[in-house]
Amino acid sequence: MPNLIRDIPETSGYWGAVWTVCNLPDIHVIADAPVGCYSLLASAVSNYTDAIPNLENITPSFIREAEVMGSGTWPAVENVYKGLHETGKLEGKQLIVVSTAESEMIGSDLSEFMGRLGYNAKFFHSESLTHDEWTGRDRALIWLWENYGGNSATTALEPGLVNIIGPTYGCFNAPADLHEIRRLVEGAGGRINVVFPYEATVADIARLPKAQVNVVMYKEFGHTLANALERPWLYAPMGLRATTDFIRQLAQMLGTTDQAERFIKREKATTLKPIWDMWKGPQGDWYSTTTVGIVATGTYVDGLRAFLGDEMGMPVTLTAARPLRPGDMDNIALRKAIHAGAPSFLFGSINEKIYLSEAGNKMTNFIPAAFPGPIVRRALGTPFMGYAGTVYVVQEIVNRLFETLFNVLPLDTAYGRPAGGPPVAAKPSLPWQPAAKAQLDAALSKLHFLTRISVSQELQMAAETYAHTQHLSEVTPEVVEAVLAGRQGERR
């Protein structure tokens, strides 16, 4: 049975690898690619995932029909190499030639040719016909270490130094999450050695083993490198409990427990104070009745579920990790599920947003939490990770509840009438058949409780008005059905 894919949520190993190695400013990539695989990655998509105008250290071999039909891609790569060399674009750089699905398709393994190029040229086989972007990143990181790195056994540790292994281009919210993890590491008593690859150069790769501890930002990639470095390592945390555990574990490894405990104490009184205040205030009362769904990387799914679900007590009614983990819904199943009904809040990518709009669902609050989808996440103050992340996420949810409430509160109907028009005559209210009432209740139960009162009044009025126009003496199930159908139509 062929494996069908709807609205693919992750890209290939080629993208993951290039989005990883191109962070290093002293690397230049020749992508063995047709024009589109180059321009989509280097500008059309990166413009809107990472808000960068152009990836400047990548050039395509520009595979065309001649290469596909027989000549192979080496002459094209060699040509591009000459152009880059002659125009000085490779000055002070290390050269990497990266394969793509299309170059792999025509069997173009260029490893043996690298000796003919300068700039320490190396071939990275991205295995794009097999691997997704996350594996691509993981493989690229370990490959960088193996090709440009040092020796963990002989490198002396510097106490207190910590690496952060993780963000690359195409990682949702990376700048803010990185900012927060850096803050936590320093708060716990560590000092940052290398942020790899986000803020690194090739020379930094050999310095990686100096760090006493590694922090891996995401569960999806980076662990292979962390293991190879032969130092203890931790995953970056989400939620109150995991973040506190993280700080304590890190401090234990670094021998800075006193400083870390002071930091945690201070955080509770500052960064985290809003969580405590809202917990005690009216906002906290809403958590247990506000449902949440999460479709994002496994890192975010686990982190948000632990924080919003286990810690804040919000019912998490739908989760699906990308890339898929066993038991998760793929987009074919997820789309059906969202069409049938969605939680009050849905964290996700543009795909989930599309499924909500297909279903005419305007009651669910969509919160961007994953790629794909065009979005700017470059502000440092919007983390999902760490202590600051808990505050940001709760603040987002509460403010959207306020927004929802505002939108359903009644507006004096006079504003909707043409000026000077006759006032609407009051009509006597009508009795409701029990079946009609049951139908109304069923429809209302699908709404977030904050909006129920207003919507209920609106629907009751609409049903009674409709019954009046039909000259009925009571509200029947047919009337409710007609009104609900009309409402559905309006929302589409």
Partner 1 sequence: MTAIELPEIELTGPVTAAKPCALHPQAMCPAFGALRVLARIDGAHPVMATDIGCNYGLTFVTHFYGSRKSLLTHQLGTSELMQGDVVEGTRAAIEMAAQEPGCELIPVISLCVAETAGLPEEMLPTRVGNAEVVLVRVPAYAIYSHPETKDVALSTVLARLGEQDGPRADKTVVILGEVFPADPLAIDHLLRRMGVEQTIVLPGRNVGDLRRAGRVGAVAPLHPFYNRTITLFRSWRIPVVGGAPVGISGTYAWIKSLGEMLHLDPVLVNQIAEAERAAAQAVADHQPIEGTVLVTGYEGTELAYARLLIEAGADVPYVSTSIGQDPLVLPDELWLRRHGVRDIIYRKTLEHDVAALDAFKPDFVLGTTPFCNIAKDRGIPALYFTNQLAARPFFLSGGMAATAGFVRNAIAGGARAQWMLDFFAE
Interacting span for ligand SF4 (CB under 6 A) from 33-41, 118-126, 425-433, 479-487: 33-41
Whose Cβ is closer to ligand SF4: residue 38's or residue 172's?
38
Alpha helices in 188-222 (DSSP H): 202-207
- Distance, in Å, from the CA atom of 177 to the CA atom of 237, rounded to the nearest integer, reads 10
CA distance 100 to 108: 9
DSSP SS3 for 105: helix
For helices 13-21 and 133-148, what crossing angle results, to 10°? 40
Q: Minimum Å distance from CB 128 to ligand SF4?
A: 10
Edge to edge, the sheet with strand 213-216 lists 191-196, 161-165, 213-216, 233-235
Which one of the spans 34-42, 122-130, 381-389, 470-478 is the region binding ligand SF4 (CB under 6 A)? Answer: 34-42
User: Smallest gap, in angstroms, from Cβ of residue 130 to partner 1?
Assistant: 5
Q: Which stretch binds ligand SF4 (CB under 6 A): 36-44, 225-233, 301-309, 396-404?
A: 36-44
Strands 292-296, 233-235: pairing is unpaired
Strand partners, 165: 196, 216
Task: Please choose which of ligand SF4, partner 1, none residue 62 contacts, taking the beta carbon within 5 to 8 angstroms, the exact cut-off set by kind.
Answer: partner 1
Our CB check for ligand SF4 shows the closer of 71 and 429 to be 71
Q: Which of residues 51-110 bind ligand SF4 (CB under 6 A)?
A: 102
Pick the closer one to partner 1 by CB: 65 or 490.
65
Q: How far, rounded to the nearest angstrom, does the alpha carbon of residue 29 sit from its chain's CA centroid?
A: 26
Name the binder of 142 from partner 1, ligand SF4, none, CB < 5-8 A by kind. none
3-state secondary structure 397-461: HHHHHHHHHHHHCCCCHHHHCCCCCCCCCCCCCCCECHHHHHHHHHHHHCCCHHHHHHHHHHHHH
Regarding 13 and contact with ligand SF4 (CB under 6 A), the answer is no
Look at residue 13 and give its three-state secondary structure: helix
Is residue 346 within 8 A of residue 318, CB to CB? The reply is yes
Taking CB under 6 A as the criterion, the residue among 29, 31, 37, 171 binding ligand SF4 is: 37
Q: How far is the CB of 38 from ligand SF4 (least distance, A)?
A: 8
- Record the tokens describing residue 134, joined without a space: 């996350």
Residues making contact with partner 1 (CB under 8 A) = 1-8, 10-15, 34-45, 47-48, 53-54, 56, 59-60, 62-68, 80, 83-84, 86-87, 89, 100-102, 105-106, 128-130, 132-133, 331-332, 335, 350-351, 354-355, 357-358, 372-374
Helices 350-358/331-340 angle, 10° precision: 40
Minimum Å gap between C-beta 35 and ligand SF4 is: 6
Strands 365-368 and 94-99 come out as: unpaired
Give yes or no for residue 133 binding ligand SF4 (CB under 6 A): no
444 touches ligand SF4 (CB under 6 A): no
Buried b (16+ CB within 10 A) or exposed e, 395-412: ebbbebbeebeeebeeee
Between residues 128 and 193, which has the closer beta carbon with respect to partner 1? Answer: 128
- The entry of ligand SF4, partner 1, none near residue 5 (CB within 5 to 8 angstroms by kind) is partner 1
Give the residue with the Cβ less far from partner 1, 66 or 435.
66
| Partner from ligand SF4, partner 1, none contacting 119, C-beta within 5 to 8 A by type | none
In this structure, are residues 33 and 103 in contact, taking their beta carbons and an 8 Å threshold?
Answer: yes
Instruction: Name the residues that contact ligand SF4, by CB under 6 A.
Output: 34-37, 40, 102
